[in-house]
Structure 1
Amino acid sequence: MRYTLRPPVLARGPDRSFWLQDAGAAPVTTSLAGDQAADVAIVGGGYTGLWTALRLKEQDPGLKIVLLEADCCGAGASGRNGGQVHSWFAEIDLVAAVVGETEAFSLCRATADAIEELEALQASGAIDMNLRLDGWLWTASARAQEGAWRKALEMVEAKGEARFSRLDAGEIARRTGSRASYMGIAEMRAGTVQPAKLAAGLRRLALARHVIIHEKTPVTAIEPGAVATLHTPQGRLRAGRVVLAANAWLASIPELLRYIYVVESQIVATQPVPDLLQRLGWTGGESICDAQAHVLYYQRTPEGRVIFGRGSGKIAYGDRIGPSFNRGREKGADNRRELDRVYPELRTVKIEHDWSGPIDCTADHLPIFGHLTGQPNIFFGIGFNGTGIAQTPVAGRILASLVLGRDDQWSRSGLVGLEKRKTLPPEPIRYLGARLVRKAIRLRNDAEIENRQVNPIVRYISELKPGR
């Protein structure tokens, strides 16, 4: 038996995210060459792979861990996302539906603890990630979006958890400089980060703790066995345990593709306009999301750029993640339209960067961990659904416990195991259905944003989407 992986199409030059360009290129480690061996091999040098390596070193410093990354660490989703840092408390109703209420609160608290861990890393000087814990705002800008947070808020407040505060139109305008949204909630211990700098910092920590990292080393195939063999263009790596942490690119494995679908998220960055944002009153480091189905997410960087993202991109057919998933052909036009709606004062401000990235999504919007069927030493973590900065430190704990064979709260998590999770239709039904639903969601969003009545057929089709 052999697992064949599709090498990712790498983003180059202007197709790379603003974050990666802003962070600058670190010296790339050497590619793997020849035959090597390790106790643990990790495929993927983003947040999941790096946090897993760090958690393993915390528990067993003597392990020989070799991490293989197709590009440079953080070049995938970890260096392309919106830089929003918030816990799982806003999704606690979804978490509870999968793992039960008791563990849901435990996992949500663990993500809140991860935010504190990030702050400690920055305060100590270990990682300069531009972390600003000025809050995460979940808002409504149309009647249909009102109360999207109700279930989560009621669950949290019923337990006496002081995680959120309610927002009115004045408070939102004061904190964001926009009057598009008029009600919502805020998670206080949350905010924004420069995601590529966070990835680079985790990479430095891993190297300092003697994790061996080979960049520019795509894994093309894996031969399972008591000692698995990972094939790369110039060498082979043998390891007793393997961790697959390559996010959307794990769609190449048929068993995992049954549980994930890959969508594109598009992001733009404006030119720096700190004086204009100051006049609007937008001075903080809050992260903001609105509650439409094609969610908007945005922040103001310390130097005064607006980062504005939208999860409304294309759907991948199976595991075919091509160059357009690095940068859309429309060059951020959809984001520009929404940016002008939310901030009409920025209509003349230039978009200096636009980029895209593939997101691995599950039907219930939560990640899945476990081992491949019949392969007890090949582990995986997939399906972060575009929310990973505070979640992957927890993922690292789950994967480390699985790798080490521990029997603890992490290895027993309800997020472990494919058998309990929803499967998706096969291709081409999945792709064609997703295209239809995506179009319906777009039409519904456009109507609801203007508080217009939605066509009943459009509404019905839009509600066929997985999850919430």
Structure 2
Amino acid sequence: MSSIKMRPPVAAPREDRSFWLQSIAADAATTPLKGSETCDIAIVGGGYAGLWTALRIKEHAPETRVTILEADFCGSGASGRNGGQVHTWFAEIDMLRELVGTEDALMLCRATADAIDELKTLQDSGTIDMDLRLDGWLWTASSAAQEGAWSKAYDLTRTLGEKRFRTLDRADMLKRTGSSASYLGIVEERAGTVQPAKLALGLRQLAISNGVIIHEQSPVLEIVPGAQPQLRTAQGTLSAKKIVLAANAWLSAIPELHPYLYVVSSQLIATAPAADILDEIGWVDGASICDAQHHVLYYQRTPSGRVIFGRGTGGIAYQDRIGSSFNRSGDKGLDNIRELHRVYPQLKEVEVQYDWSGPIDCTAQHLPVFDHLKEHRNIFYAVGFNGTGIAQTPVAGRIMASLVLGRDDKWSRCGLVGIGRRTKLPPEPLRYVGAKIVRGAIRRKNDVEILNQKPDRITRFLANLAP
């Protein structure tokens, strides 16, 4: 039986790590895998998805021997690089219903609301200090073209009796954000922000305290399928009864998954503390904010008064080869700085002290998928979080735990399980070339629409080819 070659991530040097990771001096806390070890369930990936899966397995079957192999250190990937925005799947309920049906869509959305409550309990109990602030999540419009982007989700939630969102007018927006750039939108009140690296490292410690073995700095080079599959690293071999692949964008290297995944970059910056300016303009809380352009802007104010400002760049990797440019882009955050100064001109004199990037694993439906490899029923995967994971991965952990433990329940039966209904993407090089053309059109379309002008017909056509 042929083995599966993995493409280990390119670890970011310290200076290219996110502000979140650098601010708490995050690093490996466990030893690499050396020699031969065995376990019941092996998990590849020590980010949110892998850690939550391990914790959920331990909830249901405490005696299960679970080992996590992490290429760098827990939280060094997407879990420690994101914008720290916490909101439910109710924002995607229309897409969920289209894919999984009304009943499952409601169940999954409610589960993410429960996950936010779980995060709150973890913080309030002192279990994980994650700087969670449930001051709301704002979905906004800063141009006529963005108005009503939330209408499907807003209308559907109300139709289904879930009054999760409240509309905001221009005065509300100015009061909540301190910016006049966005003038219309909705808010999900039971949502907000976290310090994502603190959450990842807190989950690491929680997993260890529950008996999970974690080997960091242990990139998996090869998966050897079989009745007792093996994971091979540079220094050791881990044998398990079952394997869970939770390695985010790097799973695109697996031939069976590659047709359904595309990897794009997201870029973020962090300013120097500017609490006095933010207080003066009225931006005083921990709400998370995003706009409705295709390459969405997302931002928050940290407790210390920094502004974290991110944007999906749409940059794509050829054959999903994720190199060092996905750790930090070459433009030093200039595109984000331009947009930051448009949204907050008051911050033009404030130094931008950090810039970083990260890969995002996307599916055409913009929703994750859970399953086992077609020919290997003891190798499972969780992939395609599309940059939205803080309230979603606790739910993903429940789905994965049920699948791996062979439980017949609402999680193992939910409509996100099974890759067969997902859309395949074009092969290379058509995928890469097409994505570059579409990306350029989307950027032109965004730049024109933000001025309330109409893009040309060709630009509109090309931009609409995006998944």
Q: TM-score range by the shorter chain?
A: over 0.9
- The one-character-per-residue Cα deviations of 1:368-410 (angstroms, maximum 9, x if unpaired) are 0000011000000000000000000000000000000011100
1:75 aligns with 2:76: yes
Larger CA deviation: 7-16 vs 189-198: 7-16
Instruction: Give the secondary structure class of the aligned counterpart of 1:225.
Output: coil
User: Which residue number in structure 2 is paired with residue 109 of structure 1?
Assistant: 110
- The one-character-per-residue Cα deviations of 1:123-156 (angstroms, maximum 9, x if unpaired) are 0000000000000000000000000000000100
* CA displacement at 1:297 relative to structure 2: 0.2
Matches within 5 A, 1:133-172: 133-172=134-173
User: Which residue number in structure 1 is paired with residue 219 of structure 2?
Assistant: 218
Matches within 5 A, 1:12-31: 12-25=13-26, 28-31=29-32
**AA aligned opposite 2:42:** A
1:444 aligns with 2:440: no
Contact 1:247 1:360 (8 Å CA) reproduced: yes
User: Which residue number in structure 2 is paired with residue 124 of structure 1?
Assistant: 125
* CA displacement at 1:25 relative to structure 2: 2.6
Aligned mates of 2:174, 2:364 — CA distance in 1: 34
**AA aligned opposite 2:68:** L
Instruction: Give the secondary structure class of the aligned counterpart of 1:354.
Output: strand
Unpaired runs of 5+ residues, structure 1, are none
Contact 1:57 1:209 (8 Å CA) reproduced: yes
* CA displacement at 1:24 relative to structure 2: 2.0
- The one-character-per-residue Cα deviations of 1:266-294 (angstroms, maximum 9, x if unpaired) are 00000000001000100000000000001
* CA displacement at 1:448 relative to structure 2: 0.3
User: Which residue number in structure 1 is paired with residue 392 of structure 2?
Assistant: 391
- The one-character-per-residue Cα deviations of 1:238-297 (angstroms, maximum 9, x if unpaired) are 001000000000011011111110000000000000001000100000000000001000
User: Which residue number in structure 2 is paired with residue 403 of structure 1?
Assistant: 404
Dislocated runs of 4+, deviation >4 Å: none
Aligned mates of 1:367, 1:23 — CA distance in 2: 30
Instruction: Give the secondary structure class of the aligned counterpart of 2:315.
Output: coil
**AA aligned opposite 2:124:** A
Instruction: Give the secondary structure class of the aligned counterpart of 1:241.
Output: strand
Aligned mates of 2:162, 2:419 — CA distance in 1: 31
C-alpha distance 237-394 of structure 1, shift in aligned 2 (>3 A): same
- The one-character-per-residue Cα deviations of 1:5-64 (angstroms, maximum 9, x if unpaired) are 011100012100000011223552110000110100000000000000000000000011
Aligned mates of 2:288, 2:103 — CA distance in 1: 28
Instruction: Give the secondary structure class of the aligned counterpart of 2:105.
Output: helix
User: Which residue number in structure 2 is paired with residue 463 of structure 1?
Assistant: 464
Aligned mates of 1:288, 1:175 — CA distance in 2: 10
Aligned mates of 2:299, 2:320 — CA distance in 1: 28
Aligned mates of 2:132, 2:331 — CA distance in 1: 31
1:333 aligns with 2:334: yes
- The one-character-per-residue Cα deviations of 1:57-96 (angstroms, maximum 9, x if unpaired) are 0000001111000001000000000000000001100111
User: Which residue number in structure 2 is paired with residue 194 of structure 1?
Assistant: 195
User: Which residue number in structure 1 is paired with residue 420 of structure 2?
Assistant: 419
- The one-character-per-residue Cα deviations of 1:338-368 (angstroms, maximum 9, x if unpaired) are 0010001111111000000000000010000
User: Which residue number in structure 2 is paired with residue 98 of structure 1?
Assistant: 99
Aligned mates of 1:165, 1:339 — CA distance in 2: 26
User: Which residue number in structure 1 is paired with residue 370 of structure 2?
Assistant: 369
Contact 1:266 1:313 (8 Å CA) reproduced: no
User: Which residue number in structure 1 is paired with residue 43 of structure 2?
Assistant: 42
**AA aligned opposite 1:157:** R
1:264 aligns with 2:262: no
- Report how many aligned residue pairs link the two structures: 466
* CA displacement at 1:317 relative to structure 2: 1.0
Contact 2:45 2:245 (8 Å CA) reproduced: yes
Aligned mates of 1:397, 1:235 — CA distance in 2: 29
Contact 1:87 1:112 (8 Å CA) reproduced: yes
User: Which residue number in structure 2 is paired with residue 381 of structure 1?
Assistant: 382
**AA aligned opposite 2:229:** A
**Quick one: percent identity of the two aligned structures?**
64
Aligned mates of 1:264, 1:27 — CA distance in 2: 24
Contact 2:295 2:314 (8 Å CA) reproduced: no
* CA displacement at 1:313 relative to structure 2: 4.1
Aligned mates of 2:373, 2:195 — CA distance in 1: 33
Aligned mates of 1:373, 1:25 — CA distance in 2: 37
**AA aligned opposite 2:149:** A
Give the root-mean-square deviation of aligned CA atoms: 0.7
Larger CA deviation: 158-167 vs 279-288: 158-167
Aligned mates of 1:303, 1:335 — CA distance in 2: 20
**AA aligned opposite 1:212:** I
User: Which residue number in structure 1 is paired with residue 90 of structure 2?
Assistant: 89
- The one-character-per-residue Cα deviations of 1:405-446 (angstroms, maximum 9, x if unpaired) are 011100001101111111111100110111110000000000
Instruction: Give the secondary structure class of the aligned counterpart of 1:318.
Output: helix
* CA displacement at 1:159 relative to structure 2: 1.6
Aligned mates of 1:26, 1:378 — CA distance in 2: 29
Instruction: Give the secondary structure class of the aligned counterpart of 2:242.
Output: strand
C-alpha distance 27-224 of structure 1, shift in aligned 2 (>3 A): closer
Aligned mates of 1:362, 1:115 — CA distance in 2: 24
Aligned mates of 1:422, 1:456 — CA distance in 2: 26
* CA displacement at 1:452 relative to structure 2: 0.9
1:274 aligns with 2:275: yes
C-alpha distance 78-276 of structure 1, shift in aligned 2 (>3 A): same
C-alpha distance 77-27 of structure 1, shift in aligned 2 (>3 A): closer
Instruction: Give the secondary structure class of the aligned counterpart of 1:258.
Output: helix
Aligned mates of 1:232, 1:450 — CA distance in 2: 52
Instruction: Give the secondary structure class of the aligned counterpart of 1:267.
Output: strand
Instruction: Give the secondary structure class of the aligned counterpart of 1:254.
Output: coil
User: Which residue number in structure 1 is paired with residue 291 of structure 2?
Assistant: 290
